[in-house]
């Protein structure tokens, strides 16, 4: 048995020389070591060789891009987390220059807001004034006083598209009222009322008729009102008034003023025909005026009844008969 113990000691000594024993903890070294067995470590294939067999044959790559191959998933790009989607992005604090700019323009922005509020208040005031003006115009039209309003108010009222028809209606109504008042005045007097009183009263309507002829669609309406105004004068006066030299002179002067206004109305009507007066029968109106003039010449000795107006209208009729872009003898309007 001695030779077996010697052989075991030799084999253990040779193994210790080849493979060092690992260091044990100091705490374990203080206690008694377990009995040693010579079969715990193999002599042909040690633990270091076994660990070496599991190591990779090539060294790991040192390229830092290898670890950045996969993209980094940001919180806002995550589709599975609703909290990450609803989280607002963090805003960077403004730099000193931006903060200074905001502080500088802040008073101006406040002033702009204040001015906008003032503009809104002014717009409300303007709308209220326009409503009041519309109510005032409606009140004037309801009472037929448009022909008597001042020029500033008339200019505002005539901006309406139907202002010509409304003004003509009011003028006709006022003419009728004046005619009735003159008749009542004549009936209340025992003596003859001078013609100059009639002409002075009726002449107050001429400026309003001139203003009517300037409005759109107003020339034809002014033409008829002038003829009616002359007819109202012819309805006044008795036999003694017709032969009075003063009455004859007043009547002639009034018709002269009517003729001056009528010339402008006729020219404006011929130069600017409107859509509501496309077929002005000039020849028919010439015959109507000539017939009335002949009656007045015989009845009261009036020698001139719209003489210049008739000349302009006859000339237009001749142009139409000659085919020179005018009104024909039958009164039809040629294409303009």
pLDDT category at 148 given cuts 50, 70, 90 is confident
The predicted model scores a pTM of: 0.59
In terms of phi and psi (left: phi > 0; alpha: psi -120 to 50; beta: otherwise), the region of 301 is: left
Segment of 191-195, 228-232, 302-306, 317-321 carrying the highest mean pLDDT = 228-232
**Burial 132-148, CB ≥16 within 10 A → b, else e:** eeeeebeebbeebebbe
pLDDT tens digits, residue range 97-132?
Answer: 888 998 999 999 999 999 999 999 999 999 999 898
Q: How far apart are CA 56 and CA 233, in angstroms?
A: 133
Q: Is the pLDDT score of 187 beyond 80? A: yes
pLDDT tens digits, residue range 275-330?
Answer: 656 678 888 899 999 998 888 888 777 788 899 999 999 998 888 776 655 554 44
Q: How far apart are CA 328 and CA 321, in angstroms?
A: 5
Q: How far apart are CA 202 and CA 54, in angstroms?
A: 131
DSSP secondary structure letter of residue 275:
T
Q: How far apart are CA 176 and CA 147, in angstroms?
A: 13
């Amino acid at each position: 048995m001695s030779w077996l113990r010697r052989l075991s000691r030799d084999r253990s000594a040779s193994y210790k020389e080849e493979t060092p024993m690992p260091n044990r903890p100091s705490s374990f070294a203080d206690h008694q070591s377990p009995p040693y067995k010579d079969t715990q470590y193999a002599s042909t294939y040690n633990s270091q060789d076994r660990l070496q067999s599991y190591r990779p044959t090539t060294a790991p790559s040192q390229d830092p891009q290898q670890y950045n191959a996969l993209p980094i998933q940001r919180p806002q790009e995550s589709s599975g987390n609703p909290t990450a989607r609803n989280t607002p992005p963090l805003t960077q604090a403004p730099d000193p220059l931006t903060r200074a700019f905001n502080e500088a323009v802040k008073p101006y922005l406040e002033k702009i807001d204040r001015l906008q509020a003032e503009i809104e208040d002014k717009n409300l005031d303007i709308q209220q004034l326009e409503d009041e003006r519309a109510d005032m115009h409606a009140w004037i039209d309801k009472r037929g006083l448009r022909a008597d309003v001042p020029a500033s108010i008339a200019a505002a009222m005539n901006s309406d598209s139907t202002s010509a028809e409304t003004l003509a209606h009011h003028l006709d109504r006022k003419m009728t009222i004046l005619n009735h008042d003159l008749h009542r005045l004549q009936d209340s007097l025992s003596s003859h009322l001078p013609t100059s009183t009639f002409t002075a009263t009726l002449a107050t309507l001429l400026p309003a008729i001139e203003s009517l002829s300037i409005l759109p669609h107003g020339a034809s309406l002014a033409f008829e009102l002038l003829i009616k105004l002359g007819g109202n004068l012819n309805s006044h006066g008795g036999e003694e008034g017709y032969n009075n030299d003063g009455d004859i002179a007043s009547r002639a002067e009034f018709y002269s003023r009517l003729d001056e206004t009528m010339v402008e109305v006729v020219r404006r009507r011929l130069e600017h025909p409107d859509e509501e007066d496309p077929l002005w029968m000039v020849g028919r109106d010439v015959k109507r005026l000539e017939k009335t003039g002949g009656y007045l010449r015989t009845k009261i000795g009036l020698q001139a009844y719209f003489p210049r107006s008739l000349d302009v209208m006859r000339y237009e009729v001749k142009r139409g008969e000659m085919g020179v872009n005018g009104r024909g003898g039958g009164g039809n309007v040629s294409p303009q």
